[in-house]
Chain A
Amino acid sequence: NAGVTQTPKFRVLKTGQSMTLLCAQDMNHEYMYWYRQDPGMGLRLIHYSVGEGTTAKGEVPDGYNVSRLKKQNFLLGLESAAPSQTSVYFCASSVPGQAYEQYFGPGTRLTVT
């Protein structure tokens, strides 16, 4: 089992460019999440999904869109990147039966110049 994987690991964007971060899990988890981690801020939820075809906003959704076309994949899109989106992005998955214990991916470090 690979667990939760994220692509890419690093990326540098110019302001205004777009990109998509891919998260994949092979544990058949229903729930998937995207977080961003900034110094002094902890992990903040961007968007989440409770199942294939469903998505919902988290704490800091502005500037991001998501899609969950397949159960195992959760995509995070930046339509027009801004320097404020420079961050480390973590994907996670969980199941309700484990009190939503989070299984995290390795993270994607994004820099927007």
Chain B
Amino acid sequence: ILNVEQSPQSLHVQEGDSTNFTCSFPSSNFYALHWYRWETAKSPEALFVMTLNGDEKKKGRISATLNTKEGYSYLYIKGSQPEDSATYLCAFIGNTGFQKLVFGTGTRLLVSP
């Protein structure tokens, strides 16, 4: 069974703080790593889809990096805003057989004004 771990489980920051989360995944048989943003009472939405070692993606104040050789990805949020409050999920896809996603349990971020 593949293990995808996210840390921390939860985070409470003040508006304007910058923060980062970690996703750890198997370093072998890598195909892709996804990051999703999941707001309360909504469904997850994709932030980034990363497929190459060394990938860096950016969307506004949110960015992500990928290290497939050591099996981790970081998600950064610069200058957190209350609307960034959500659960951030990562999902690993291996290249053996059908590309099923294995999700981590998420990092819950709360940004206070």
Contacts and interface: CB of A to CB of B under 8 A. Distances in A.
Interface of A: 33, 40-45, 48, 50, 56, 58-59, 90, 96, 98-107
B30 to A, nearest CB: 11
Given A42-B89, A99-B32, A105 B105 contact: no
Given A43-B103, A99-B93, A101-B34, A107 B98 contact: no
Interface of B: 1, 31-32, 34, 36, 42-46, 49, 51, 89, 91, 93, 98-101, 103-106
Contacts of A90: 43-44
Contact of A104 (B1, B31, B45, B99): B45
A56 B97 CA distance: 12
Contact of B51 (A41, A99, A106): A99
B89 A43 contact: yes
Given A56-B98, A99-B49, A102-B46, A40 B105 contact: yes
Contacts of B1: 59
A105 B43 CA distance: 6
A45 B45 CA distance: 17
> Interface SS of chain A: helix, strand, loop or mixed?
mixed
B103 A42 contact: yes
A43 B92 CA distance: 12
Contact of B43 (A44, A50, A104): A104
Contacts of A107: 43
B106 A42 contact: yes
Nearest to A106: B43
Given A45-B100, A56-B98, 13 more contacts: A42-B89, A42-B103, A43-B89, A43-B91, A48-B98, A50-B98, A99-B49, A100-B34, A102-B44, A102-B91, A102-B101, A104-B45, A106-B42
A42 B6 CA distance: 11
